[in-house]
Amino acid sequence: MTDSDPLIVEQRGPVRRLLLNRPERRNALDIALVEALDKEITSAEADPGTAVVAVSGKGPSFCAGGDFHQFLQLHDEGHNPVGFLTDVSACFTRIAASPKPWVAVLHGHAVAGGLELALACDVVVAADTTLIGDGHLNRRLVPAGGSSVRLPGAVGRGLSRWLLLTGELLPATAFAHTGWIRAIVPEADLDATATRICHQLADRHSPAQQRLKTLLYRIDGLAPEHALREELATFADNWPASSVADALRAFLTPPTTKADSK
C-alpha cells in the first residue's frame, strides 16, 4: 500500500482506520476507491483482531460525493452511470449490514455520496465546521447510494425532505438535535474524539455485539411483530453461543477475599 492508493489502511489496535485518499478530488468516489473500500469490508470482517472500522477522508473534505469525471467517462463510453452506482449502493449496504461497528469521521464536506457513506455507518463523529447535505439536485442528479432511504431515519422526515429537495448544505451543528451525530467537536479535537468513541465500541466487542449489530440491520423497516420475532430468535441463538449463563454466574458470584480463603 502506497500514498497513491485510493484508500489508506492503518490498524490501531482493535480499530481499523480507513482513509479515503483522493484529496485532489475531495475524495470523490470513483471505481478504484469503491473497489478498495469493498475489499476492506471483506478484510475487516474476516480479521478477529479488528473490532471497529473507522472511515475518514484525507485533505480538505471527508467526501464530496461521486466523481463527476467518472460519470462523464462512463457516459461518453455509452454507459449509464447507474451501473457504477449499483456497486456504490451495494458497498454501502455491506457496511450497514456488517457485523462490526463502523464509525464515520467527518470534516470539510460530507455531500451526496459522502453523506450516503456516513449514513451507512453506525456512528458519526463530525467537526463542527463540516458541511453536510444531500446535494444531488444541485447538479440535476437524484440519490443512488441510499440517502433517500436512510436519511429520514437518521435526521427525521422534515429535515430529510428539506435536504433532499433543496440540495442545501448545513453545518454539522444544525444536526445536533437529531441525535444522528454522536459528537460534534472542533476539528482539532476530531481525531482524539473519534479514537475515544471507537475504543468505547471496541470495549464491547464480542459475538453478542456482532449478533446485535446484524439484528439491527435485519429488522430495519420490518413490521413490529416480525421484528420482535427476529429479536427473540437472536436472543435464543446468542444464549448458548455466547455462554451467557457463565457470564451471569460470574456477575452474581461475590469476589473471594483473603479472609474467605482461610
- Tens-digit pLDDT profile for residues 171-216: 999 999 999 999 999 999 999 999 999 999 999 999 999 999 999 9
Residue pair 171/210 in contact by the 8 Å Cβ criterion: no
Report pLDDT for 77. 96
- Rg of the chain in Å (alpha carbons): 20
Distance of alpha carbon 26 from alpha carbon 109, whole angstroms: 8
Report pLDDT for 227. 96
For residue 109, what are the β-bridge partners? 131
Closest CA to 43 of 6, 16, 3: 16
Q: Is 20 exposed, middle or buried (0-12, 13-18, 19+ CB in 10 A)?
A: buried
The residue with cell 482506520 is 17
Local confidence band at 3 (pLDDT 50, 70, 90 cut-offs): confident
List pLDDT tens digits, range 21-47: 999 999 999 999 999 999 999 999 999
Mean pLDDT, the chain, whole residue set:
95
**Which residues lie closer than 8 Å to 111 by C-beta, 6 or more apart?**
63, 64, 65, 131, 132, 133, 134, 135, 169
Mean pLDDT within 231-245: 95
Q: Does position 83 have pLDDT exceeding 70, yes or no?
A: yes
Q: Does position 1 have pLDDT exceeding 70, yes or no?
A: no
Residue spans of alpha helices (H) in 98-175: 113-120, 147-155, 157-166
List pLDDT tens digits, range 100-136: 999 999 999 999 999 999 999 999 999 999 999 999 9
CATH number belonging to domain 7-202: 3.90.226.10
Report pLDDT for 21. 98
Closest CA to 210 of 123, 42, 125, 97: 97
pTM listed for this prediction: 0.94
Report pLDDT for 44. 97
Mean pLDDT within 58-87: 96
Map residue 28 onto helix, strand or coil: coil
Q: Does position 71 have pLDDT exceeding 60, yes or no?
A: yes
Mean pLDDT within 145-167: 97
What residue spans define the domains of the chain? 7-202, 207-252
Q: Does position 256 have pLDDT exceeding 80, yes or no?
A: no
Q: Does position 258 have pLDDT exceeding 80, yes or no?
A: no
Q: Does position 261 have pLDDT exceeding 60, yes or no?
A: no
> Could you please report the per-residue DSSP string of 154-221?
HH-HHHHHHHHHH---EEGGGGGGGS-EEEEE-GGGHHHHHHHHHHHHHTT-SHHHHHHHHHHHHHTT
Report pLDDT for 259. 61
Closest CA to 97 of 152, 45, 36: 45
User: Given its phi and psi angles, is residue 23 left (phi above 0), alpha (psi -120 to 50 degrees) or beta?
Assistant: alpha
